[in-house]
Amino acid sequence: MRPIDYFDRGAAKSPERLFIAGNGREFTYAEAKSTTEALAKGLYAAGFKVGDSVAVYSPNDPGAVVCIFGAYRAGGAWVPVNVRNAASTNAEYMAYVRTRWLFFHSSVLEHIEKVIPELPELKGIVCFDSDSTPYPSLASFSAAGSATEIPDWSDPFGAPDVVFSRWPTGGTTGPSKGVDMSNRSICAMLEIGLQHYVGEDTEDIVHLAVAPITHAAGVMILVYGAAGGSNIVHESFDAKAVLEAIQEHKVTNIFLPPTAYYAMLDEAKRTRYDTSSLRQILIAAAPVSPDKFRDGVEVFGPVICQCFGQAEAPMLISWLGPKVVAAAAAGEHPERLKSAGKVTSATQVGILDDDGNILPLGERGEICCRGPLVTPGYFEKPEATAEARKFGWHHTGDVGYLDKDEYLYIVDRKKDMIITGGFNVFAAEVEAPILALAEVLECAVIGIPDEKWGESVKAIVVLRKGQTMTESALVDAVKPKLGSVKTPKSVEFWDEIPKTAVGKTDKKAIRKKFWADSDRAVN
């Protein structure tokens, strides 16, 4: 199986069912399939070769999704381009992964004009939603390939080594690297995803995509497409609009990063929308406060779930399902609300020390994994690939431990550890009790330079609308849970916390304010 074969299976199941809609455009499965076939023919007529990098530069839009699926069909390596990034950042990444084909939405034409001069290997540029730009429209580009056949580029094994995507790493701790995500790894993810995200309830799936389709939301469309589900896309996240859409479209599944989930939860507590159609609210990209899990079960029912993965081992290293979350919220193994879930069936996880030794259950070390989810490596970065694969494991860069039931607990990013007075403090441990406070909407904990302690613990906090709180009140509230070492030495209240282009808390941006005068980011 190739990724596009999963979509074709969904299309065969329900050709006239809505595949995707949003921004005033929609495609049935049959329409999407014919459009992707025409696009792939256009690519081959223009000189495309299997493995070429194909960038889609667009906000969330049905046409962008169809172009991405067209790249799958041709055998191209999809390059996700997030429009929330600066054009220069996108141009740098697109040049690095040798982008040869570029499909874009007319709303980003100004960006396109800036990036094109920086892409020396570019062979073709197509505007997929308009014929009023200086570049060919999707219709004219596809028409040029009407007499061209799409070659059968698969093999008896589903072409497992062909690159599905050259996926940018998060970039929260440095410049993005391109992950060569192979057909083998993404198809392993799809199989595990169909097991956990869909299960046996395959009828009347409606997936709402509000996170960027250049992130996990885009892959989720492929998962639900394989099951013949419908996908609704919003250009951006707005808590009220999301709740309205759930009610209007009878949404069954939605993926959100924690920050968006917290905002939706907060909105739902103050309003009355019918969310009874929901089967899953999937939270990923960062750890979730246990108290927010409990609140979610109370507000939305037993539909809250979480997974852990990364571009190098996409989405499903571990899975915390709705039944487990609901049971834990009710008091059965409540500690599991702090976990990232149980290691999935196709994955092996080891907790390694710095010398590559596997640590006993319960001991903290770097979370490492093996299995078909693990991608081949970083595009044209053999040294970075070797570093991530030391001791014969893939190193996630996250610190955690396993319990006796194979539940995985993440305590922080390995590089997000604060060393204060010689003690190791993991930011997530400090953030959890702060997020449990009724007045708090969001928080981010970092280490800042301190003459006495080396680094001191600092909390950046966003309060809920209408709430007030002093620094001393917050410190007094969490100190009994944290103790003196982990309790923040200082607190700042901000109107908002910086986010990366994919909605994650951007601690790199926060740290810049406090480490700008230092020649290194440790103390």
DSSP string for residues in 98-149: TEEEEEE-GGGHHHHHHHGGG-TT--EEEESS-S-SSS-BHHHHHHTTTTPP
Distance between CA atoms of 311 and 499, rounded to whole angstroms? 18
Distance between CA atoms of 55 and 58, rounded to whole angstroms? 10
Structure tokens at 99: 């982008």
Q: Which of 394, 356, 353 has its CA nearest to residue 372?
A: 394
Distance between CA atoms of 76 and 165, rounded to whole angstroms? 8
Q: pTM surpassing 0.75?
A: yes
Q: Which of 265, 252, 250, 179 has its CA nearest to residue 215?
A: 179
The confidence score (pLDDT) of residue 172 equals: 46
Distance between CA atoms of 84 and 67, rounded to whole angstroms? 19
The SS3 of residue 425 is strand
Pairing of strands 53-57, 99-104: parallel
Distance between CA atoms of 102 and 438, rounded to whole angstroms? 47
Structure tokens at 9: 């299976």
The confidence score (pLDDT) of residue 523 equals: 64
Site of tokens 């960027």:
212
Q: For the packed helices 427-435 and 471-486, what is the interaxial angle rounded to 10 degrees? A: 140
Structure tokens at 345: 């069936």
Q: Which of 69, 46, 47, 50 has its CA nearest to residue 144?
A: 46
Structure tokens at 65: 């999704």
Distance between CA atoms of 324 and 340, rounded to whole angstroms? 11
Residues 186-198: tens digit of each pLDDT:
999 999 999 999 9
Q: The domain 421-515 belongs to what CATH superfamily? A: ANL, C-terminal domain (3.30.300.30)
Residues 442-456: tens digit of each pLDDT:
999 999 998 888 899
DSSP string, 232-285: EE-SS--HHHHHHHHHHHT--EEEE-HHHHHHHHHHHHHS----TT-SEEEE-S
Q: Which of 101, 17, 19, 30 has its CA nearest to residue 62?
A: 19
* Stretches in the chain below the pLDDT threshold 50: 172-174
The SS3 of residue 58 is coil
Name the β-bridge partners of 365. Answer: 400
Sheet containing 377-378: order of strands? 124-127, 99-104, 53-57, 77-81, 163-168, 178-182, 377-378
Secondary element (H or E) of residue 509: helix 507-515
The confidence score (pLDDT) of residue 34 equals: 98
**CATH 3.30.300.30 residue window(s) in the chain:** 421-515
- Return the CATH fold of 237-414: Rossmann fold (3.40.50)
The confidence score (pLDDT) of residue 500 equals: 87
- What CATH class does 24-182 carry? alpha beta
**CATH 3.40.50.12780 residue window(s) in the chain:** 24-182, 237-414
Question: What sign has the CA pseudo-torsion 159, 162, 167, 173?
Answer: positive
The confidence score (pLDDT) of residue 521 equals: 64
Structure tokens at 47: 């000189």
